[in-house]
């Protein structure tokens, strides 16, 4: 495919305001050659889905450290599906307990990255799993 | 591609964003879709917001969207941020200031990366404007990448250019230099509660007075207004001053229509677009071919060995590919 640049939305849904990790990832994705739409903290799932569609992103990266991932992540995936955008890959990161993961994958998330994951491995995952469509 | 343009004309946001992306990535045949849209587009008012990085363009755009939504106008926003010269990646963070409009169906915000083009815009901006026009947006706001003194491409795309200044930009010599300071239809002094705002206002007032006297920036009698915008930390005063800005932008648009200056601006825009399309149609295929068959690298080798010079090579290539022009120059066959 000629010159297709991967576009990623990085958002923090919910009340959690700790966004350093999200910013580090945004910077890391920039350095990997991706275009990052950064919307920062306190997003509703509706906002995240709307922005993902307006920006024609390939990936939505959600970050949550507050424990609300069980509701917020599946909600974003559901809203995208409702708007015919289930082809947008949703991934998540943050403080996500092991036992919550099956339900998140069930809800449509394609990957979950927890503390200790290297930046390189996330970039590699995206490069392997994301092929932007024309 | 036809299906994409049909969807855009029906108001499909995802199709519009995909089309803009195809244009950004220069996907072959995307222009076929644009041909259909071009004839359907052209009745929106295009407003350019430009200024230095951190001048407050996005925050201003956000409040301007709110002001226009109160007047029931639909809005398209194209917000440009820089591409990394090293990785080709970008962080597009303008819309972080505009999130309250994310779910408003009357507002479509699309971020663009410069992808190496200079001038404060992305190559796809002109075409992005056509897509927004095809969506029948009343107002299209183009927020440029944070610019310096010479990034003035916005005048080829916008009907009304708003130049945002903040205190601390320099002395009056900076203010009378060519470039950015010349292109304003409206000046905004943002963060007007900061130290130095009064001095900046005086300096800009002098520019406007001189511009009026010489008639350079106002050939048909428009007096460039200077709008002071209060800090966003005073939400009420901020909103009120942006309301004033909105009124001035409308005044300017009405002025353009009445004075026939709008026709002149549309003509300038059309010419710039044709120029760009010509460049792409003539130059790009040649460069692609040279790259494709390895001739480009061979020529670079020749240059590195100092066997020849770039001017000779360029002329040879031009002679080979642009036969008609050369025939014309030689008096034709």
SS3 B67: helix
Considering CB atoms only, which of B26, B88, B103 is closest to A33? B88
Q: How far apart are CA B294 and CA B297, in angstroms?
A: 6
Q: CA-CA distance, B21 to A81, in Å (whole number)?
A: 21
Query: A3 — alpha (psi -120 to 50), left (phi > 0) or beta?
Result: left
Q: Give me the pLDDT at residue B217, please.
A: 42
Integer distance in angstroms from the first to the last C-alpha of chain B? 40
> Does the CB of B123 have a partner CB in chain A at under 8 Å?
no
Instruction: Name the minimum distance, in Å, from the CA of B34 to any CA of chain A.
Output: 15
The verdict on a CB contact (< 8 Å) between A54 and B84 is no
pLDDT of residue B326: 53
Q: CB–CB of A31 and B25 under 8 A?
A: no
CB B96 within 8 A of CB B161: no
Asked whether the beta carbons of residue A37 and residue B92 sit closer than 8 angstroms, the reply is: yes
Nearest to A51 among B26, B93, B95 (CB): B95
DSSP 8-state class, residue A66: S
Closest chain A C-alpha to B96 CA, distance in angstroms: 5
Tell me if A55 and B27 make a contact (CB, 8 A cut-off).
no
Q: Which residue of A has its CA nearest to B14?
A: A53
- B166 closest CA partner among B143, B142, B188: B188
User: Who among A35, A55, A134 is closest to B27 (CB)?
Assistant: A134
Check CB contact under 8 Å for B102 and A50: yes
Report how far Cα B52 is from the mean position of its chain's Cα atoms: 14
pLDDT reading at B273 higher than 90: no
Which residues 12-31 of B are in CB contact (within 8 Å) with A? 13-14, 17-18, 20-22, 24-28
pLDDT of B214 over the 70 cut? no
Q: Could you read off the pLDDT of B74-131 as tens digits, one per residue?
A: 999 999 999 999 999 999 999 999 999 999 999 999 999 999 888 888 888 999 999 9
- Provide the token pair at A28: 């890391």
What is the count of residue pairs from A and B with beta carbons less than 8 Å apart?
A: 92
Average pLDDT, chain B: 89
pLDDT 10s digits, B166-203: 998 777 777 778 888 889 999 999 999 999 999 999 99
Name residues 65-84 of chain B within 8 A of A (Cβ): 84
Q: What are the chain A neighbours of B99 within 8 Å (beta carbons)?
A: 39-40, 43, 47, 51
| Residue B75, phi-psi category: left (phi > 0), alpha (psi -120 to 50), beta (remainder) | beta
Span B245-260, pLDDT tens digits: 999 999 999 999 988 8
Percent share of chain B, pLDDT over 90? 62
The answer to whether B103 contacts A46, with C-beta atoms less than 8 Å apart, is: yes
| Nearest CA among B202, B252, B261 for reference residue B225 | B252
CB contact under 8 A, A56 and B89: no
Q: What is the rounded distance in angstroms from the CA atom of residue B215 to the CA atom of residue B217? A: 6
Residue B211 confidence (pLDDT) = 75
B47: its two tokens: 């407003």
8 Å CB contact of B88 and A5: yes
Q: Which helix (H) or strand (E) holds B78?
A: strand B75-81
The predicted model gives B133-159 an average pLDDT of 93
**pLDDT for the residue B327:** 54
The alpha helices in chain B, defined as continuous H runs, are 2-9, 13-24, 30-40, 57-70, 125-134, 172-176, 197-214, 235-259, 261-292, 295-304, 310-321, 323-329
Per-residue model confidence as pLDDT tens digits over B41-55: 788 999 999 999 999
pLDDT of residue A1: 47
What is the rounded CA–CA span in Å between residue A9 and residue A39?
7
What is the side-by-side strand order in the sheet with B226-228? Answer: B107-113, B75-81, B139-143, B45-51, B160-165, B186-189, B226-228
In angstroms, what separates the C-alpha of B118 from chain A's closest C-alpha? 18
Residues B224, B217 contacting (CB under 8 angstroms): yes
Flag if B110 and A37 touch (Cβ within 8 Å). Answer: no
Q: Do B92 and A39 touch (CB under 8 A)?
A: no
pLDDT for residue B215 = 46
| Residue of higher predicted confidence among B332 and B231 | B231
What is the distance between the alpha carbons of residues B285 and B278, in angstroms, rounded to a whole number? Answer: 11
> Concatenated DSSP letters for A72-124?
HHHHHHHHHHHTT-TTSEEEEEES--GGGHHHHHHTT--EEE-TT--HHHHHH
Distance from C-alpha of B128 to C-alpha of B122, rounded to nearest angstrom: 10
Percent of chain B with pLDDT over 70: 94
Tokens 């590699």: give the residue: A124
Determine the Cα–Cα distance for residues B274 and B95; give it in Å rounded to an integer.
30
Cα–Cα distance list, B67 to A91, A113, B73, B160, B249 (Å): 36, 41, 9, 17, 12
Question: Is residue B330 pLDDT above 60, yes or no?
Answer: no
Tell me whether B210 touches chain A (CB under 8 Å). no
Rounded Cα distance, B218 and B212, in Å: 6
Residues paired with A40 in a beta bridge: A11
Q: Which two tokens stand for residue B221?
A: 């009698």
- ipTM rounded to 2 decimals: 0.93
Residue-level pLDDT at B219: 55
Low-confidence stretches of chain A (pLDDT < 70) are 1-2
State the best of A35, A51, A61 to mutate against chain B, taking most chain B CBs within 10 Å.
A35
């Amino acid at each position: 495919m000629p010159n297709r640049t991967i576009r990623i939305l990085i958002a923090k849904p919910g009340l959690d305001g700790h966004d350093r990790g999200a910013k580090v990832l945004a910077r890391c994705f920039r350095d990997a050659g991706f275009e990052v739409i950064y919307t920062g903290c306190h997003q509703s799932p509706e906002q995240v889905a709307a922005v993902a569609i307006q920006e024609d992103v390939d990936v939505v990266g959600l970050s949550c450290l507050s424990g609300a991932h069980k509701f917020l992540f599946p909600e974003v995936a559901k809203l995208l599906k409702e708007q015919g955008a289930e082809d947008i890959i949703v991934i998540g990161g943050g403080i996500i307990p092991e036992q919550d993961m099956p339900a998140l994958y069930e809800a449509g998330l394609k990957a979950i990255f927890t503390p200790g994951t290297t930046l390189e491995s996330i970039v590699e995952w995206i490069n392997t799993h994301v092929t932007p469509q024309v | 591609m036809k299906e994409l343009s049909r969807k855009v004309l029906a108001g499909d946001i995802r199709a519009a964003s995909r089309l803009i992306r195809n244009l950004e990535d220069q996907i072959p045949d995307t222009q076929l879709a644009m041909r259909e849209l071009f004839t359907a587009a052209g009745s929106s008012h295009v407003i350019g917001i430009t200024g230095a990085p951190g001048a407050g363009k996005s925050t201003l755009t956000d409040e301007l969207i709110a002001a226009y939504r109160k007047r029931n106008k639909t809005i398209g926003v194209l917000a440009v941020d820089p591409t990394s010269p090293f990785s080709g990646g970008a962080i597009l963070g303008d819309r972080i200031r505009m999130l309250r409009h994310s779910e408003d169906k009357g507002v479509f915000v699309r971020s663009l990366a410069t992808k190496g083009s200079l001038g404060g815009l992305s190559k796809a901006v002109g075409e992005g404007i056509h897509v927004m026009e095809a969506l029948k947006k009343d107002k299209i706001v183009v927020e440029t990448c944070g610019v310096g003194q010479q990034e003035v491409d916005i005048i080829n795309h916008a009907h009304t250019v708003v130049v945002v200044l903040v205190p601390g930009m320099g002395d009056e010599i900076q203010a009378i230099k060519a470039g950015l300071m010349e292109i304003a239809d409206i000046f905004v002094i943002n963060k007007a509660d900061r130290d130095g705002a009064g001095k900046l206002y005086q300096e800009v007032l002098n520019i406007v007075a001189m511009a009026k006297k010489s008639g350079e920036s106002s050939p048909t009698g428009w007096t460039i207004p200077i709008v002071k915008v209060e800090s966003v930390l005073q939400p009420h005063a901020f909103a009120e001053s942006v309301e004033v800005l909105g009124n001035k932008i409308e005044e300017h648009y009405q002025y353009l229509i009445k004075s026939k200056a709008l026709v002149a601006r549309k003509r300038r825009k059309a010419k710039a677009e044709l120029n760009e399309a010509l460049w792409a149609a003539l130059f790009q295929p040649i460069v692609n071919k040279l790259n494709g068959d390895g001739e480009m690298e061979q020529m670079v080798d020749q240059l590195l060995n100092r066997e020849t010079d770039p001017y000779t090579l360029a002329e040879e290539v031009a002679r080979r590919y642009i036969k008609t022009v050369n025939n014309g120059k030689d008096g034709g066959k």
